[in-house]
Structure 1
Amino acid sequence: MSSNNDFLVGAGVVISTLAATTLLQRPAKANRRRRVPALTTPISRPRPGASVRAAQRLNRAAGMLAASVLADSSVEHYRGSFKNKAMYTPLVVSALTLATSAHGTADRRPFAHRLRDGGYLLAAATGLIGTGFHVYNVTRKVGGFSWQNLFYGAPLGAPMAILLSGLLGFCSERVRETSRSRRPHVFGLPAARTIAAVTAAGLLGTSGEAGLLHFRGAFHNPFMAVPVTLPPLGAAMLFNVAARDPDRTHDRRHRLTRAWMWLLAAMGFAGVGFHAYGVSRNMGGWRNWSQNVLNGPPLPAPPSFTGLSLAGLAALGLMREHPDA
C-alpha cells in the first residue's frame, strides 16, 4: 500500500513538473513569435533598385512631354512657314530629348549619364529661350499684351513644355545616382517632394494655356472645361503631398492623389480624340486634313497632361519607397 502511494506521489510530481515547464515555455515562444516581424520587416528601408525605377518613370514622363512638343511645334511652326530659322530649334531639341529619354528608360544602371544630363539641360535652356521669343512675338504686335495677340500670337506657354521635359529628365539623373543608403535629393532638396512641386506647377501652367485657348473657342463644348478644372485639383493634391511631413505621408500612400494622376493621364489621351473630332467638324473634315490640321485644335497638345501626370506618379512612387524623399 505504501509503495502504491509512493508511486502515485512520484507520478504526480513528474506530471506537475512537466506542466509547469510547459506553461513557462509558452509565453517565451509566443513572445518570440511576436517579435520576429518587428525585426525582419523594416518599414523605411527602400527595396533594391527603387531609385532606378523612379528614374525610369521620370524618363518616360520627360519623353512623353518631348514627343508632344516635337509634334506640336512641327505643326505650329510649319503653319508659320518657319519664317525664323530658329523655329527649327525646338524640333531638333525635342527629338534629341525624346531619344535621350528612351535611352534612360532602357538603362538599368544606378549611375547618371553625362550625355543625358547635357541633353536635358539643352532642352531646359531651349524652353527658356523659346519663351523669350514667344513673349517678344506677342509684344511686337500692335496692341502688345492684348487678348487678340494672346489668342492668335505665339503661345506663351508652349515652350515651357520642353523646359519641363528637360527639368524632369535632369531630376531623373539625380535620382538614379542615389545609393540605397542615402535619401534621393535634387539640389539638396528631397527629390520626390521637389518633383511633385515642379509637376504641380507644370499642371497649373498647362491648364492656364488650355484655358486661354478654350476661352478663345468660347467653351462651345462642355468638355472644354475639363482641362481647366481637373488639372488644378491635381496640382493642389501634389502641392499638399510636397508640403506634408514624411512621417504622416508614409502610411496613407496618397491613394486619391495617385488615382487622380491616372485620371489626368487618361484625360490627355482622351483630349486627342476630342481635338480630332474638332478637326473633323471643319469644312471638308479629314478629307481636307492638310488645312484643317493646321487650323483646327492642336492634336499633339493634350498628351502634355499625360506626361506631367506620369511625372506625378513617379514622384509618388519614389515617396512610397523612400518615405523621407
Structure 2
Amino acid sequence: MAGSVLADSAMEHYRGSFDNRAMLLPIASSALAIAADSRLASGRVTGASPLTASIHAASIAVGAAGLGFHTYNVTRKAGGISWNNLFYRAPIGAPAALVTSGMLGVAAQALGSGASYLGPLPLLSGRALAGFTALGLAGASAEAALLHFRGAYHDSFMWLPVTLPPLSAAALARAAMTGRAGWITTATLAATAAVGLFGMAFHAYGVSRNMGGWKNWRQNILAGPPLPAPPSFTGLAIAGLGALMLIRRFARG
C-alpha cells in the first residue's frame, strides 16, 4: 500500500508541478513507511518501536489532511461537486490510501510486537482487521468506479475492479461479524490480489496506446491510466488474507 501511494502521489503531484509544498508530504511519509515496515518485516526490529509508530501516525495524519485538501480542490471550482470536477480535479479519495497504509502499519506493528502490546485492540482475533480491510476495499473500488466511469468502461476488463473487490469486501465483512472464514472469502481475496497485478499490466498497455508509446514515456505515464493505482487492491487483499489467517487461528484457540 505504501509503495502504491508513493509512486501514485509522486506522479500525480509532479503532474501538478508541486503547486503546493504540502504535496511533498505524502511522498515523504510513504517513503518513510516503506523503510520502517521493511525493517519490521525483516525481523531486525523486535518489540514496539516509537519511531515506527510515529511514522505510521504521520501517514494517517497526512492522508487525512490530504482528504481535506482534495475535497477543497474539488469544491472550490465552479460547479462544486459535479461530474466534471470529480473527474478532472484532484482525485477526492486518493489520500485515503495513505490513511489505510498507516492503519495497516499500526496493526502490523502491534501484531508483530506480541499480545502485551495490543492493549484493548481486538487484533488477535483478526475480526477488527478484517472489518477495516473490507472498508478499504470498498473505498478503493469506489474510486476505481469513478475513474473507469470517466473512461466510459470502453474495455470490459474495466468492470473487474468495480465488481470483484466489493464482493471480497462483503465476504470479508461477513467474516468480521461472524468470526468464520470460509473458502469463498479466501478465493475472492486471492482473485482481488490478482486483479491488482493484472490491472497494472492493463494500465501499462493503456500507456503504450498513447502517441509515441513507451518511447514517449515521460509524457504518456502522466497522460495514461495511473500505473501505481491497481496494486493497492493487491495490498488490501493481502491484508485481508492475513486477517483470515488470524480468524482461523483464533477460532482454533
User: TM tier, shorter chain?
Assistant: over 0.9
Equivalent position of 2:114 in the other structure: 178
- Is 2:2 aligned against 1:69? no
Match of 2:244 among 286, 298, 316: 316
Equivalent position of 1:278 in the other structure: 206
- Is 2:133 aligned against 1:199? yes
- Check whether the contact 2:111–2:123 (CA below 8 A) recurs between aligned residues: no
Amino acid at match of 2:122: L
Percent of residue pairs identical: 52
- Structure 2 distance, partners of 1:185, 1:107, is 18
- Structure 1 distance, partners of 2:159, 2:80, is 28
Q: How far off its partner does 1:77 sit?
A: 0.5
- Structure 1 distance, partners of 2:162, 2:120, is 31
Once the two structures are superposed, residues 170-203 of structure 1 have per-residue CA deviations (whole angstroms, 9 ceiling, x without a partner) of: 1122222334xx8x95744354100000000000
Once the two structures are superposed, residues 227-272 of structure 1 have per-residue CA deviations (whole angstroms, 9 ceiling, x without a partner) of: 000000000000000000x4xx3xxx52221122111111101001
SS at match of 2:5: helix
- Structure 2 distance, partners of 1:108, 1:79, is 37
Q: How far off its partner does 1:287 sit?
A: 1.7
After superposition, where does 1:245-256 map in structure 2 within 5 Å?
246=179, 249=180, 253-256=181-184
Match of 1:131 among 49, 52, 67: 67
- Structure 2 distance, partners of 1:318, 1:147, is 41
Taking a change above 3 Å as real, the CA distance of residues 291 and 76 of structure 1, as seen in their structure-2 partners, is same
Equivalent position of 1:214 in the other structure: 148
My pick for the range that moved more, 143-152 or 284-293, is 284-293
Q: How far off its partner does 1:101 sit?
A: 1.0
Query: CA RMSD of the aligned region, Å?
Result: 1.8
SS at match of 1:142: coil
- Check whether the contact 1:175–1:186 (CA below 8 A) recurs between aligned residues: no
After superposition, where does 1:145-184 map in structure 2 within 5 Å?
145-179=81-115
After superposition, where does 1:1-325 map in structure 2 within 5 Å?
65-107=1-43, 111-179=47-115, 187-191=120-124, 192-244=126-178, 246=179, 249=180, 253-323=181-251
TM-score, length of structure 1 as denominator length: 0.74
Runs of 4+ in 1 over 6 A off after TM superposition: none
- Structure 2 distance, partners of 1:171, 1:196, is 11
- Structure 1 distance, partners of 2:252, 2:114, is 13
Amino acid at match of 2:155: N
Which protein, 1 or 2, shows the higher relative CO under an 8 Å CA cutoff with sep ≥ 6?
Answer: 1
- Structure 1 distance, partners of 2:49, 2:251, is 26
- Higher Cα Rg, which structure: 1
- Structure 2 distance, partners of 1:203, 1:279, is 25
TM-score, length of structure 2 as denominator length: 0.94
Q: How far off its partner does 1:105 sit?
A: 0.5
- Structure 1 distance, partners of 2:217, 2:123, is 47
Once the two structures are superposed, residues 251-297 of structure 1 have per-residue CA deviations (whole angstroms, 9 ceiling, x without a partner) of: xx522211221111111010011001111111221121111110100
- Check whether the contact 1:279–1:285 (CA below 8 A) recurs between aligned residues: yes
- Check whether the contact 1:66–1:162 (CA below 8 A) recurs between aligned residues: yes
SS at match of 2:251: coil
